[in-house]
Structures are given as C-alpha cells and as structure tokens.
Amino acid sequence: MKIEANDKEVQDIFSLGYFKIPRFQRPYSWTEEEVINFWDDVVLRDYIDYFIGSMVVYQTEKPYYGIVDGQQRLTTITLLLAAIRNAFLDYGEENLARGVHQYIEKANIDNINEYILNSETSFPYLQDQIQSFKKADIQCTVGNEEQNLKLAFELINKQLYSIIPTISNYDSSDDLLPEIKKTKLEKLKEIRNKILSLKLVFIQLDNEDDAYLIFETLNTRGKDLTTPDLVKNLLLEKLRKANVTLDTYKTMWNRILEKFDNNGLDQNFVDSFLYHHWLSKYGETTQNKLYGEIKKYVDSFNKNESETKAQELLLEFQKNSDYYLSIVSPDRYSWSPEEKSTIYQSLKALRLFRVRQQTSMVLSLIRAYKEKKLTLRYLRQILWKIECFHFIFNAITSQRSSGSIGPLYSEFAQKVSNTDSLSTIQSSNTELLRKLKYKIPTFEEFEVNFMNLIYTKNKQRQKKLIQYILEKLMGKNSNALPIDYTSVTIEHLLPQSKEDEEIVGKIGNLILVDKQTNTEELRDCDFMRKIEILKEKKYPLDEYLLNSTQWTEKEIEERSKLMAEKAYYEVWLL
C-alpha cells in the first residue's frame, strides 16, 4: 500500500480536481453543536495557520478522487463557501461571488461545469439548494441527510448574517451606505480567506481497495461511526457495483434506511434491527460486538463465497427489515384482517409492556410465518403465550431478567430459523414456554402489584395498561357481537369526586363502557343505578358486580383480588 501525505490549504485541495463521497461513507450527520464549534474555530478565532485535521482520498482517474476520511469537514466547508458566495451576491458583487464559486463548481476538461464535491445520497438537494450559483428550483425531498444539510446551512447563514447583515437591512438613502458596504465586504473577504487558508494533511492512497481498509481502520475504534455504518462498509466492500450508473447494492441498503425513516424511526432502530436479526439466526452476541461477529462471519469464506454471503446477508436485511418494522411499529404496518385481530394485537401489547428481550424470537416466528413454515393460528398461539409471560413478568411485577431472558429467546429463535420442520419448531417452542413458565413470579407477588394499579384524572401513567387489562378480562364479544374497544372509555363505578383517589382509582372500581353511555347516562348516577342501566343495555358485567348491593372500599378491594386471580390463573395463564 502506497500512501502519500502532504500539508495543503483548502484552496489548493479544491483546485486539484473533483471529490466524490463514496458509497461506503455515511451521510452528512453533523449536528448544531458540531457546526457551531467548527464556525467558532475557523471563523471567529484569530490565527495565522489553522490545522483542521487530515483528509484521506484515493484517485479513481485524473482528476477525480474518492473521499475516505474528512467528508464531514469538506461538506461543511462547501456550505460555508456557498453562504459566503450568496452574501456577496446579496451585496451585488457578482464577480466576488463567482470568485468563491470556483471552489464549488468549475468546468471540467470538456468545458462542462461540474461540482467539486459530489455526494450521491444527497442528490439533488445539495447540488440545487446549496451548491448551485442560481437555483434550478428542483423539487427536493428532504430526508435524513438533506435535513442535516438544510439545518447546517441555515445555521451557517444565521451566524454569517449576524456578522454581515443583509444589504436590505440598511437605508438606501443613508450617505454612509458605501462605507458600510465596503466595511462589510472587507469582512466577508476576510472570512473567505480564512476558510480557504485552512490547512489539512492531504493523504492520497493508490486505489479503492486500500480505501476500504483505511476507512475501517480509521473508524472501527472511532467515535463517529455506528454499527450500521460499519456493516454497510463491509458489505459494499465485498459487493462491488457492476454498473457505473446504477449501484444496486448501495440502493438496496439505502432502501432499508428509507423504510425506517418513513416509519419515523431513527438510526438507533437500524442498529437494533441488525442486532436482533443476528440474534434470531446466527448467534448470541452483544450490540458492541455485533460488527465484529458479522465481519468474522463474512471473512471466514474464500473470496467468491464471501461475496455470496455478503449478498445473502444484504438480501436478508432487506426482507427482514419489513418483518422487524411490523414488530416495532405495528400501527404503521399493513395487516390482513385476520392478522390484525391476532398478530397485531400481541405485538401492540408487547410494545405497551416496553420489553425488547423477546424481539429476536418474535422476529424468527414472523419470518417463519411469512415463509409459510407456520400457520397463522399457531403463530397466534405462541405470540399469545409470550404476551402472557411479559404481562406478568414485566408489565405487572417489573421483574429484572438478570440477562438470562434475552439469550434464552435467542437460542430458541435460532432453532426456529434453522429448520423447515414444523414438528421441530413446535417442540422447540414447547421447551421455550416450559423454561419461561419456570421464571414466572408467584401469584402472591403478582397480586400485590396488580392491586396497586391505579387510574384517576390525576394519575394516568398506567391508563393504557389498565385499559388493556379490562379489555382482556371483558373478552372479545358481548351478546355474540364483537366489542369495539376503540370507542370505549374507563368508567369509575364509585365517582372520583366521592372518595380518596387511592380508593376510586383501584382497578376493582373500573369498567369499560362506550363513550356515549359514560358521558350521557352514567355520569351523575350512584352505583346501583349504574348497574341497572348497564343491565338494561346487556353490558357484560362480572358476577361480583351483578351480586353487589352496595359499593364501598371493601367491595372495591374484594373485586380487585378476584380480578387478580382471574388474570393470573385463567386469562394470562402461561
């Protein structure tokens, strides 16, 4: 590997040729803090020579370079130059503006204008909205990277115009305007010169192969790159694009990211997806060690096989990203009517319980269902048992797994993933449920926590959990007709205004009724009148309510205990 390193100023680097942000690089990701710190360092500080780090490139063909390291700084410098250029234009100084623009865009050997910095992932936003001398007003979708670019550029303009106000801020009749303008233009030139004179160590590599190696070496221990960034680099290194124009594999990777973005999920969910997918099929690891495990797996084959395995992994990620999104964002997923009443309900409940340990197993089960290894009926049964376990273990008793639940799920997820035999899957799931049942807390512990559930207008933290419990205890049908739980509200049998909220808020004092009945018929009634109204409507009242002739703290306590027994021994029985 041949490496050449030289000190160069920004203006020299931008005069060398054209720079492309390669496919393995992550998108522009600087936040407000990083942009402000860079502005303060390179614009506000007094210095003669200011060193801003290194820039690592490889030459594809003269005069074109791929950027290995330094693209965040180079992109930010381009934003700074574009802002300065626009400020010159604002002051009517087109020549000065074009003088700066030559470091943003210049004619190539065919005398066709070409941008000095090129980024595929931000096209056409960076080019049209920032780099262009005169905007073409192309309709641009502002995705994650574009949003970061947009915010950074707006922030730079705000900082610049705090020093150099727009010319429209001045009174055109002011006799001092020419002097004011001259002073501001000199300040603009000073900022321009400071940017162009920034120094970097310019490191040039021989080829793209060396670039992948250097990129990984620079960033594996670094603070900037996430696991998805490194996995992307690894896979794209193995899967070189076959067409100059169309980069199929990079497009596949970007489509995965777009799915998460379209569901309102950030980079952390992509990281979690890769982690849970690996747990569900390949082996137990930690999120910190995930990239190393994937790299070890891909590199364990010869060159041709390694490329095949990388392609298989990317295809897996593409397909399984949909399954994962159904788990973490079930409300946005497209379900069939049968799936909506079964799979969706359990996934929604697990989201309500705020648990993640089961994700690898659930992902494996949904994958098996989508691949027709499992029937919808069987999938519903096993998901319901997992839901039962986490209702008792997490939602009610708030147990700590001591790190044993996640590996247990991962072990059985891999068994499901690595067989096509329904009987093997069924026996594995039976063994999993047996082990989960062994971990279930006692009824006494469950009862204490269940009895402490409370909901009032002042204490609403457990409202969704309580509504979930009341729905399950009530069942799916009333008088052979399905109950529409989207239109029900929680009613306090003993009104909130009558007693201490610690009493009226207990789950034993709560029922679900439709909104109209609640607001129009039950509002001002005492307990016995409420029961009469609900009987007339053939509301599915439990035996305890039907047989009660009074309603005090004692009855509320007794009903709460009966509900706890039914929940533990009947409804959520594992």
**pLDDT means per 10 residues in the chain (574 residues)?**
80 93 77 90 82 86 88 93 93 93 93 88 76 67 72 93 78 65 90 93 78 62 68 84 65 90 88 96 92 91 89 95 96 93 94 95 97 95 97 93 86 95 94 95 96 92 94 70 70 80 91 85 85 87 90 94 96 94
Structural domain ending residue among the three candidates 438, 473, 508: 438
The answer to whether residue 218 is domain-embedded is no
Whether 421 and 455 share a structural domain? no
- Split into its structural domains, the chain has a count of 3
Separation CA 504–CA 494 (nearest Å): 6
Quote the pLDDT of residue 238. 85
Whether 60 and 206 share a structural domain? yes
**What size, in residues, is the chain?**
574
**Is the pTM above the cut of 0.75?**
no
51 three-class SS: strand
CA-CA-CA-CA torsion for 204, 207, 208, 213, nearest 10 degrees? Answer: -70
Whether 206 and 96 share a structural domain? yes
The answer to whether residue 547 is domain-embedded is yes
The answer to whether residue 215 is domain-embedded is no
Whether 295 and 317 share a structural domain? yes
Quote the pLDDT of residue 209. 67
Whether 46 and 105 share a structural domain? yes
Quote the pLDDT of residue 478. 53
Whether 270 and 419 share a structural domain? yes
The answer to whether residue 347 is domain-embedded is yes
Whether 239 and 202 share a structural domain? no
Whether 398 and 455 share a structural domain? no
The answer to whether residue 365 is domain-embedded is yes
Backbone angles phi, psi at 108, to 5 degrees: -90, -170
Collect all residues with Cβ–Cβ distance below 8 Å to 441 and sequence separation of at least 6: 392, 393, 397, 399
The answer to whether residue 423 is domain-embedded is yes
Separation CA 465–CA 515 (nearest Å): 19
The answer to whether residue 161 is domain-embedded is yes
What residues make up the domain containing 345? 223-438
Quote the pLDDT of residue 23. 67
Quote the pLDDT of residue 468. 95
Separation CA 236–CA 463 (nearest Å): 47
Whether 409 and 515 share a structural domain? no
Whether 430 and 449 share a structural domain? no
Structural domain ending residue among the three candidates 389, 409, 438: 438
pLDDT in tens, 428-484: 999 999 999 999 999 999 999 999 999 998 899 999 999 999 999 987 655 544 566
Q: Which amino acid is at 310?
A: A
pLDDT in tens, 467-481: 999 999 987 655 544
Whether 428 and 463 share a structural domain? no
Collect all residues with Cβ–Cβ distance below 8 Å to 536 and sequence separation of at least 6: none
Quote the pLDDT of residue 179. 82
The answer to whether residue 157 is domain-embedded is yes
Quote the pLDDT of residue 180. 79
Whether 80 and 197 share a structural domain? yes
Structural domain ending residue among the three candidates 438, 456, 481: 438
